[in-house]
Structure 1
Amino acid sequence: MTPNPKMVGSGEGLQDVIKLFLEQGITSSPVINPVGEILGALTELGLVKAYMLHKLKLMKNDRVGHHIDLLEPISYIDINTPVADALRAMLASPTHRLLVRDEKNKVVGIISPKDLMRGMLGEANPMQNIRQKLKETENMLRESLSILKNLKENLKVYRTVFHETPYMMHAVDRDGKILMANKREHETLGYPDGALIGKTIFDIYSPSMHDEARKGLEQVIKTGHQNVIYTSLVKKDGSTIRCDIVSSAIVDNNGNFVSTISALRPVDSEELLRSLHGIVSDSRYVNKS
C-alpha cells in the first residue's frame, strides 16, 4: 500500500497534472473537489483524452473538474481486508486501483497490483516468516534471562553487604517502594525483620522530608548518585531520629535503572548540638567586630 496517496484537485490544470504524473510515476489518482469529496479516479488514459479534447478545441476549459465524465469510479476496501478479497475487488475495479479507508472512513492509502504481488509473495512463505519471528523471540528471551541472571548475582552480593554492614541500608525502586532493608534498619526503626519490605520511603521518612526524599530519588535515577544529606526518619512507635544518608543507583548491563542502594547513619542529636556549640564558641568563628 502507498500511504497518503496524492490527490488531484478538480481545479488543477491538465498540463500541471501531466507533469505530476510523469515526475512522480503516477498512473491513477483520485480527484477531489474544493470541499474534499472524491469525484472519481483520473487514469493516464483519461488524462490523455482530456488533454487532447482541450487541444483540439473541443473543450475550452483545461481544468480537471470540467472533464468529470472521463473519471473512473473509485473502488474502496477496508484497511483490514484480506489479500484474497482485495484481489477480487481489484479485478472488478476499472482502474485496478483500490483506495484504503481506516475505521473512521478516512482514506489512508492506495493499493496497486504491485502492492498485491508483494503481499502474495509474503504469504507464499508463511512458515519462513513464523520461523523468523520465533527466532527473534528466542533471542530476546535468551537476552532477558542473561540480564535477569546478572541482576540476581548483583543483588545477592548487595544482600551480603546489607547484613554485614553496621549501617542501616535499604534499596527502593523508581516509585520509592522498599525492595530490601537490612536487619540493622529494621532494628533501629523498631520493625520485625522483613516488615519494611513493600513499604515506601514515605512511610519511614518524616512528612516534612517527603519533598526532599522525592527529589533525592529523582536525582539518583537521573545521575546515578546523591551526596550525603541529613534527613529524619520515623520509627514504628512514632518517634523520629536524625540520620545522614548517601545513595547510589544499581543498573543492569544495559545501563537501565534497577533500584537505589542507600546507607544511613543515625546522628546523635545531643552530640550534634555539642559540636555546633563548639564551633560557635570557637574564637576563630566568632565575629570580633
Structure 2
Amino acid sequence: TAAHETNSNIKADYPTEIASQLLSGSPGTITEASDAIISYTPIFPKISVKEDFWVLVNVEPKRALFSSVVAYRKIFAVVVFVALLAAFGLSIGLARHLSAPLVKLRDGANLIAQGNLRHRLDIRTGDEIQQLADEFNKMAEALNKSYSNLEAKVQEKTAQLQKAYDQLQSQQQELKSAYEQLKTTHQQLQESEEKYSDIVENAYDMINTLDAEGNITSANKRQLETLGYREDEIIGLNIENIIAPNYLQVTREAIRKVMTEGSISDFETALITKTGKVIPVEVNASAILKDGKYVGLRSITRDITRRKELEAQLLQSEKLSSIGRLAAGVAHEINNPIGVISMFIQMLLEEKRKRGELEDSEFNKLKVIESQAEQISEITKNLLEFSRQSEPHLRPVNINDTIEETLAVVEPQVSRQKIKVSRSFQSPLPQVMADNGQLKQVFMNVILNACDAMPEGGELTVTTATRRKKASNGELRDFVEIRFADTGCGISQEHLSKVFEPFFSTKGPGEGTGLGLAVSYGIVKNHKGSFEVESKEGVGTTFIISFPISIC
C-alpha cells in the first residue's frame, strides 16, 4: 500500500493524536486509548527510500486482556478478608488473656497510691506478669513497713515539734514582754535624752565635754553664743586655744586634778572669745571614765563677769567709804589750824599794806603762804565733799541739755587747747531722774580730765544713746549711756584699775588732788548708775557713764 494511501486510511480510522504516533516512523505502544491497547511498528519495502513505508498495527481490547487479572483479584480479596477475620478473633482472645492480670496490677497500684498499703495482688499466670505481681507485693510490703516506721517517726517528730513550738511560743511571749519593756525603757530614755539635751542646750551656763587630749567634743548653745563660735568651728578645737594666756598654767593644773581626783569645783579661770575679749569664768568639772580609764571630762562653766564687776564695785565702795571716813577726820583736824594760819596771814598782810610795805620780800613770802593755805583749804573742802556724798535731789533731767550746759562752761579752755568737740546725741533722748547740779559736776570732771590728756590739742567725742543692759540686781533695764572719748595719751593697764581711787592721779605735783573722778564715781553710784573706763596707751581714753531711764 502506498504511503499516501496508507496515510489516508490511518487518519480516517484513528483519532488525530493516535494517527500521528502511528505515522511517526518509529515502533511503539499506545495505552491511552479508552478501550484498547495499540501496538505498532513501521515496515519499509525499500531500504533506500524512507519516505514510503507500511505500518503494522495490533489492537487488543482491554476487557479481554484484563479479564483473568480481575478474576484473580477477587479471589485474593476473599482470602485476605477471611485471614483478617481470623486474626481479629485470635487477637481478641489473646488480649483478654493478657489484659486481666494487667488490670489487676493497675487496680492494685491505684489502691496503694490511695494509701492502702495492705493490699496484695493474687495473680497466678506462671509467666512474667506473675513475677511482676510478686515484686509488686514485695514493694507494697516494704512500703507498708517503711510507712509504719515513718508514721512512728512522724509522731515522734510531731511531739518534738509540738514541744519546741510550745517552748517557742513561751519564748515569744517572753520576748514580746521584754520587747515591750525595752520599748518603754527606750521611750523613757529618749524622752530623758531629749529633756537632758533641751536642758543642756538652753542652760544659762556653758556646758561642754573634752576628750583625753583636751579637744572640745561638744558645746552647748550658751557657750557658742558667749564665745562667738559656730559649732563646726569649736568642735575639735583644743581647750587651750580659748583659755586666756595668763590662766593657761593654772588651767592645766586643774585638768590634771580632774584626771587624778575625778572632779574640781569652783575653779576660776578666763576664756577668750573669737574676737579676743577676755571673760572671767567659774568652772565645775568631772572626769569621764571608760572601764576605769580617763577618757575626757565634762564641765559646767559660768560667766562671772558681772560678779567680778560687782565685787570690784563693792571693793571700791568699801575703799571709798574707808578713805572718806579718814578724809573727814583729816579735814576736820586740818581745817582748824589752817583757819588760824590764814587769819594771822591776813592780819600780817593788812599791817604790811597799812605801812606801805607791799614790795618787800616778806610781803611776797606772806602771799605765797596765803596761796598755799588757800590750796590746803580747797583740798580739805574736797575731802569733806568726798566724805559726805550728799543725797541727790532727783528730778527729770535731759542729759543732752546738761552736757551742752557743761560744754558751754569749759568752752574757753577747750578752744585755748585747740580741742575739737564732736557731738553725737540721740534725739529725742529719754529723761532720767537725777540731780542736774551733780551731773554737771561729773561731766565737768570727765571733760577736764580729757583736756588734761590732750595738752597739744586733739578731739573729744561725746555720744549719747539708749542701751539695754543688766542693772546691778541682774535685771535687764534701759539706760541712757554717755561716752566721752578723747584722743589723748591714754592710760596704762597698770593704772586703769586705780583711776576711781581717791588721791590717785597721773598728773604732776600740785596739778590735781586726785579726788575729781573719785567724787564723780560716788555721784554716779548714788544715781544707781555705772561708771566705766576703757583706754589704750597712745590711742585715747573713753569714759562710759550710764543712768537708768526710770528710778523708783
Q: TM-score range by the shorter chain?
A: 0.3 to 0.5
| Higher gyration radius (CA) | 2
Larger relative helix fraction: 2
Question: Could you tell me the TM-score, scaled by structure 2's length?
Answer: 0.22
Structure having greater relative contact order (Cα 8 Å, sep ≥ 6):
1
